Amino acid sequence: MSVADAKNWFLSLDLEGAEKEIASRLLSEINSRLDFLVRVGLGYLTLDRMSNSLSGGESQRINLATSLGSSLVGSLYVLDEPSIGLHQRDTDRLISVLRSLQQLGNTVVVVEHDEDIMRAADMIIDVGPDAGRLGGEIVFQGKITDDAVADKSYTLKYLRHQLAIRLPSKRRKWSSFISLEGVREHNLKNVDVRFPLGVMTVVTGVSGSGKSTLVRDVLYKALVRHLDGSGDAPGAFRSLSGDLKRIKAVEFIDQNPIGKSSRSNPATYIKAYDEIRALFADQQASRQMGFTPAFFSFNTEGGRCEECKGEGTITIEMQFMADITIECEACHGHRFKPDVLDVRYRGKNIYDVLDMTVDQAIEFFSEGDEAAAHRVARRLLPLQQVGLGYIKLGQSSSTLSGGENQRVKLAGFLSQERAQPTMFIFDEPTTGLHFHDINVLMDSFNRLISNGHTVIIIEHNMDVIKCADHVIDIGPEGGDAGGMIVATGTPEQIAACDQSHTGRYLRRYLANCGTEMPN
């Protein structure tokens, strides 16, 4: 039974006497939660649907319905990016739900980057002006329509169209492609799809329409098996064809953490830490003490603090309470032995360097005279190029957001400068990104394509869709009412398709910001 059918069944349930009295409170709660699921566009889901088969947008909206289903009055709701994974059509539904909560007498605070939600807000509090050490200020508070000057607010500049993510001057042409035929996994209805090579393709559609199933479960896994002869079994499809010889590798870049250990950090992921350790081991003090690069690692015995095993903290396990984490009394959080910390390069020890942001470290090592220092700066440059100049070199990967993890992975690929043509698949890379960050991200995508690679993006963000060379729109709805190819072509062709939810919202978006599509 679908959620919509269940809602109608419970509403029509006719009870009498004691049964009615006993069930009244339960039915009120059940109907409230089912109503929220329907209102956020999940009426098509069946009640026995496995959670691991849900899309990101569906999972997000179920979590939202769980939190909001009680419809309390006089409460404070704090929502952290509720629009993640949502198509613009579904975002409109979300705004309606949030507004109804506010009208009941609640206060709703939303941490968000979505333009429609910001425009619907009664007040915007913008924190900035930049990220990391260059942020932390309230640069604007008020309404978009206020006449207040906010020179430091990137958000207000984008919302007022003083800044914008520009359309490309022309679309890249393509002739070669990879074709999937007869795809029928999950809700996909025996579809045939062409994925252009050497350009940027965006796969879009309402939440639950089948985007991730098509790209991740079928295309990616089928290509991995074709290239390596092994890997997980792809979803059901009839044939894979096209210019398969042109692709030598395929990479799926999702938002999973870059490392499960608290010791993993951005510097180790892009191999910059190896260069840093080698540079410190080459200092005069290290040579006198016999320190090798291994002494400047907190993962191995030698130079690390053995009291905390290089963690910098001590975790005290509590049997019936949450574990307590305290600073290591031996190294005071510096993670290394005192004699290792005595080794300095241009006045900085290894702890000082790991405590630098990427921007600070690039500036610091670029000013050095040694070739090894310049190698460190070059290794770190891709992190800056994808907009992560504000994160610290030694920052634990467990503290990074999904969008940050995805960009660290992208930086890792950019740093490799691989020559073999690769298909890069990104799963909603704009998650958690501001307009300004998306501008930087688009430059990274264009750099990959200019190097001969192919970029495929699963995305709802209109700024990314409008910049694509080719768009594949799946729908028209989610669940069983989706799984069909609604439209394919350039963004101009999608915007002209009245059957496409994406096309209609793309037209509205461009009209609101006064942008005309290129010919």
Determine the pLDDT at residue 377. 95
Determine the pLDDT at residue 71. 64
Among 326, 329, 444, smallest CA distance to 388 is for 444
What phi and psi values does residue 160 have, to the nearest 5 degrees?
-95, 5
Distance CA 79, CA 114 (A): 13
Could you tell me the domains of the chain? 3-122 (3.40.50.300), 177-257+400-512 (3.40.50.300), 266-385 (1.20.1580.10)
Q: CB–CB of 471/502 below 8 Å? A: yes
DSSP single-letter state for residue 215? I
What pTM did the predictor assign?
Answer: 0.88
Determine the pLDDT at residue 56. 67
Determine the pLDDT at residue 291. 95
Distance CA 422, CA 413 (A): 10
SS3 assignment, position 179 = strand
Helices first, then strands: H and E counts in the chain: 20, 15
Identity of the amino acid at 175: S
pLDDT of the chain along its 519 residues, tens only? Answer: 889 889 999 999 888 888 888 888 888 888 888 888 888 888 888 888 888 777 767 777 787 777 776 667 888 988 888 888 888 888 888 898 889 889 989 999 999 999 999 999 999 999 999 887 888 999 999 988 887 777 889 999 999 888 889 889 899 999 999 999 999 998 999 999 999 999 999 999 998 899 999 999 999 999 999 999 888 899 999 999 999 999 999 999 988 888 767 788 999 999 999 999 999 999 999 999 999 999 999 888 899 999 999 989 898 888 778 888 899 999 999 999 999 999 999 999 999 999 999 999 999 999 988 899 999 999 999 999 999 999 999 998 888 888 888 899 999 888 876 678 999 999 999 988 899 899 999 999 999 999 999 999 999 999 999 999 999 999 998 888 899 999 999 999 999 998 999 999 999 888 876 555 555
Strands 239-242 and 200-205: unpaired
- Name, in order, each residue with C-beta under 8 angstroms of 48's C-beta and a sequence gap of 6 or more: none
Handedness of CA 492, 496, 500, 501 (dihedral sign): positive
Q: CB–CB of 442/417 below 8 Å? A: no
Tokens of 127: 């924190």
